Structure 1
Amino acid sequence: MDWSRGHTIGRGSTAAVYKAESRHYGKVFAVKSAELHRSEFLKREKEILSALTCPQIVSYQGFDVTFENGACYYNLFMEYAPRGTIADMVRHDKVVEEAPVRSYTRQILQGLNYLHANGIVHCDVKGQNVLVTDQGAKIADFGCAKRVGEAAAPVAGTPAFMAPEVARGEQQGFPADVWALGCTVLEMITGKQPWQGVSDPAVVLYRVGYSGEVPMIPDYVCEEGKDFLSKCFKSDPSERCMVSELLNHDFVRELNLVCNEFAFACDFETPTSVLERGSFWESKTNQDVTHHSSSWNFSSPRDRINMLCTAEPFLEWDDDDDDQVEWVTVRNVATRFSVGNRLCDSGRCETRSNDKEVMEGMSLGSIEKIEDYEPDTLCNCILKVDIGLISTSL
């Protein structure tokens, strides 16, 4: 697939999300890109997302590897959502009316129900990771997701949305997604993330994990909403309702759900799932889009708290409009560059017999996937575009 990279939607220290367009068909999509030697998290996200087909989950649209500005990049293609996320919606209008809150909550539940039925825990449910589309709410950003029972899977997520057992580093199963869903519903209702008024991430981590407190539910929430949230905010995960049970709750059950109940009246394009704005919790939790800083497996609460307190903000934002941004063609047919002691033309490229095997089949167009390599060999990566191959020279 020949495509052009548009303006930056969001950027972290190891990855960025761009608006992109197919050059032949004009289809717009989002592309999440990372340097190949730092892309294991993105490959993992691709493996999970590519196996999912659900109207309430952002759609996977392919992947490829490109050679740009002297480096190889792994690119994950996803559905583009110009309306942005629930967090963007909240930032714009401060709070969401009750009807769309109920509607979006049900749609998120439907997406989670599909994930849980397939043995997948999202691990980072929050407003920033739920897209708002013409078809309704869609869960996105599977960078922290894992399969149930996965060996040595680290704890992951954003502290303000973490369940108590997750904050303590004990377990992260389906009930953790339910707690995070409750926090997301509160975010829509109040216009704020949970645990507001706390300026220290160590304090919020302690409060979540060890104080026995639960997020405060405002008095103005309807009785059905209060009951729904109380079932999400059980400190004991074994007492929390399952997603399938919550789908039958009165708060979401008897709705005449209409996807466009809420018209997101924004005149700007916003992030489509993967990166965070620089608010306190995200910047201290997710140093980069890999979620390495928010996916940790330390032995003690003190270690986890130290990690949170020493994290650095990471985001830069570019809100340029389409008509002010130069689109960059990602694929070029005729290129010539050096590989080790050889010169390679895009029309003819051969691998040595002792080259390390790193290719495993076609993805999109004629680009093949590099699976294993040493970072030091990145500059020796051969990319023959449209009519060639990718390999590494060892």
Structure 2
Amino acid sequence: MMSSKDPLKDLQIIEQIGEGSYGTVHKARMIKSGDIVAVKKVPVEADLESIVKEISIMRQCHHENIVKYYDTYSKDNELWIVMEYCGGGSVSDIIETCDTTLNEEQIASVCKEVLLGLKYLHEIKKIHRDIKAGNVLLTDNGHSKLADFGVSGQISDTMLKRKTVIGTPYWMAPEVIQETGYDFKIDIWSLGITILELAEGNPPLSDTHPMRAIFLIPSRPSPTFREPEKWSKTLKDFLALCLTKDPDKRPGAIELLEHEFIKKAKGTHQTLLELIDRTKALLLKKKSKKNNGGKGVSESSESDSDSESRTSDTESDSDSDSRTDSSDSTVNTRSDSDDDDDGDGNYGTVDIRSMKKKGGEDYKPAFLDMIQADTKEEDNTKESDKGEQKPIRSNFHDLGLEELKVLIDMLTIKMNKEIQVIKDKYDKQISPIRIIFDEKEKEEKEKERLEKERLEKERKEKEAKENLKKIQNTKLHSRRVIKKSQRIAANSQKSKPKYPSPKIKNKGKNKSKNKSKN
């Protein structure tokens, strides 16, 4: 259930117990029941797909060896995920805080309960895909529980194998890296690597850069104990089965639960209590030293499962340097631990989009050319005929109407905030440019105005000159006409006789002559 109700009406936050790439984890008390729970506060800015996937898978899982999910709230643009509180912390916390490794009996206890959890997951057609000590949490009474389902996957009836490359490099099965298709058996391989981690403190190749480790895992023989003489034949046989390179020959959780090494683990979870108590005492001492003003020693690293599904009393006192600086790696990793100073590998969860195998030649991952961050899982591969679906859609489909509304409201708020932030950012950048632009635009307009005035003045001057010329021409023409008229008149005066015409003067005489003739 995802609720928009104020979580502080149901929960009393006691203290922060972890911090990681996905947010913070707090120890809290449920007000009505008084039960102690863990609350993971995740900002919406985090990878929403992984968070929704984790919620979706956790709410479907009901098993004593899987961390229990209670509820999810939305508050202040954060998701508050309420889950079971495991007071012992993660197994990797114990190894690091106590600076020790587990004995065979303790390894058997962890393996048995991890296998029980995996058996349940595999029966409901889910793959964990990130089994490691950091994702195995311990209760106060020494029981082991699987946590961190952010990269888990679903296998449908029509999809026998998946091809998405995802997990943590050092624990990654060869078939995952080679992208030949994989199923539930990859969790068994990761369990085998986890056994070596519990026995020796670190997984194989941990002193190698994650990129190189990804090259070496498929090409090298299956790893084994550095000092095999220290371990029993049954454990070595169990490890060899888990790390069988051919997934078809690798046994599943059901078969391994019948192995002699696991059968002798009855009730051995009690053997972990001493380590849990020792870890708590050390952390309490460090916390007390810190509160008393002492320098304090860096506490155990908080894996992402510890900072996401983390449910113990441990609290990270200081940041520390990376085990192996893989920040320049081209693979996209989620840091699964606050790193320490011993120079070991960074155990971030890797999510790789595409990896290919070139014919029959030595394996070479294709992601070497993929230098980009925030690579997202692509479950909807080209193998559409196998019935794969985008997990993000199926995960959201599992949510109820009210839960979807809460997510939409949160994302809308987030979107508006991000839009405003981007707008403010670009307004700040544009402002000085805009001022200069306005100044130059004003100058250009002034130039245009002056140019227009100049052209208008020239036009008027030209027009005035033309008019003046016309007037002058008209006057000149008039003078010419007048002069011509005067000449004509003058000429006319000159051509007139001084006396009357003879015809006129003799007109009477001519008439008399004519009469006499008649």
Shorter-normalised TM range = 0.7 to 0.9
Question: Does 2:281 correspond to 1:233?
Answer: no
Structure 1 position 303, deviation (Å): 4.7
User: Matches of 1:310 and 1:227 in 2, distance apart?
Assistant: 40
Structure 2: which amino acid aligns with 1:193?
P
SS in 2 for 1:99: helix
**Bigger helix share:** 2
Name the residue aligned to 1:125.
131
The correspondence of residues 1-394 of structure 1 with structure 2, limited to 5 A, is 1=7, 2=9, 3-38=11-46, 39-67=48-76, 72-91=77-96, 92-133=98-139, 134=141, 136-149=143-156, 154-198=164-208, 200-209=209-218, 211-217=219-225, 218-219=227-228, 220-263=230-273, 264=276, 265-266=278-279, 267=281, 268=283, 271=302, 273-275=305-307, 278-280=322-324, 286-287=333-334, 294-300=350-356, 301-305=364-368, 360-361=400-401, 369-371=406-408, 373-374=411-412, 375-377=414-416
Cα distance change, pair 282–75 in 1 and its aligned pair in 2 (3 A): farther
Name the residue aligned to 2:435.
none
Deviations 1:192-228 (A, max 9, x none): 2222442x2221111112x132222231221001100
SS in 2 for 1:107: helix
- Aligned partners of 2:88 and 2:142 also within 8 Å: no
- Aligned partners of 1:84 and 1:131 also within 8 Å: yes
**Bigger strand share:** 1
User: Matches of 1:361 and 1:309 in 2, distance apart?
Assistant: 35
SS in 1 for 2:28: strand
Cα distance change, pair 77–195 in 1 and its aligned pair in 2 (3 A): same
Cα distance change, pair 31–377 in 1 and its aligned pair in 2 (3 A): same
- Aligned partners of 1:158 and 1:282 also within 8 Å: no
Percent pairwise identity: 26
Whichever of the two has the greater Rg, that structure is: 2
Structure 1: which amino acid aligns with 2:231?
V
User: Matches of 1:282 and 1:125 in 2, distance apart?
Assistant: 20
Structure 2 length as normaliser, TM-score? Answer: 0.56
User: Matches of 1:95 and 1:308 in 2, distance apart?
Assistant: 37
Structure 1 position 15, deviation (Å): 2.9
User: Matches of 2:64 and 2:21 in 1, distance apart?
Assistant: 31
User: Matches of 2:37 and 2:233 in 1, distance apart?
Assistant: 40
User: Matches of 1:165 and 1:153 in 2, distance apart?
Assistant: 9
Structure 1 length as normaliser, TM-score? Answer: 0.72
- Aligned partners of 1:65 and 1:368 also within 8 Å: no
User: Matches of 1:102 and 1:308 in 2, distance apart?
Assistant: 41
User: Matches of 1:116 and 1:83 in 2, distance apart?
Assistant: 26
Can you give the 5+ residue segments of structure 2 that lack an aligned partner in the other structure? Answer: 1-6, 285-299, 309-319, 337-346, 357-363, 375-398, 420-518
Q: Give the paired residue count.
A: 323
Can you give the 5+ residue segments of structure 1 that lack an aligned partner in the other structure? Answer: 312-358, 381-394
Name the residue aligned to 1:319.
none
SS in 2 for 1:50: helix
Structure 1 position 171, deviation (Å): 2.7
Say which is worse superposed, 175-184 or 143-152, in terms of deviation.
Answer: 143-152
Structure 2: which amino acid aligns with 1:54?
H
Name the residue aligned to 1:343.
none
